[in-house]
Amino acid sequence: MRIIVAIYTDEDVSGLVATLLKSRGLDVTTVPEQGTIGKTDREQLEFATSIDRALLTHNRIDFERLNLEYIKEEKQHSGIIVVPQKNAYEVARRVGILVSMLAIEEIRNQLLYA
């Protein structure tokens, strides 16, 4: 059975993107909804992993570095999805296509670009 990826958006991703993804039927939660505003990138990734959600961000450089650190430390995460900062509709379209093609197991511990 294919299980759809749940998403956690970091502070860089607009609330409109989350709303658009939710309107596509995706399971999305945000930093404000979770009360995690102001946490470091590492803390955000750790939190996303603790609730078994792929982290969605525009912050390519920092999360590429964090992914490498996780590999070196042999730590697990629930996936990182990096999408360029474009208008919210384009971001939601790209992410929607990506997650519709992949199951949770295919995203876990991966750094993906939408």
Q: What's the fold here for domain 7-113?
A: Rossmann fold (3.40.50)
* For the chain, domain boundaries: 7-113
Q: What is the pTM of this model?
A: 0.94
pLDDT at 3 over 80: no
Residues 3-32: what's their mean pLDDT?
94
Sheet with strand 111-113: strands edge to edge: 28-30, 7-9, 54-57, 80-82, 111-113
pLDDT band per the 50, 70, 90 thresholds, residue 2? low
Query: Whose CA is closest to 8, among 58, 69, 65, 49?
Result: 49
DSSP assignment of 43-60, as one string? HHHHHHHHTT-EEEES-H
How many C-alpha atoms does 89 have within 13 Å on its Cβ side?
A: 0
CA dihedral of 10, 34, 17, 3, whole degrees rounded to 10: 90
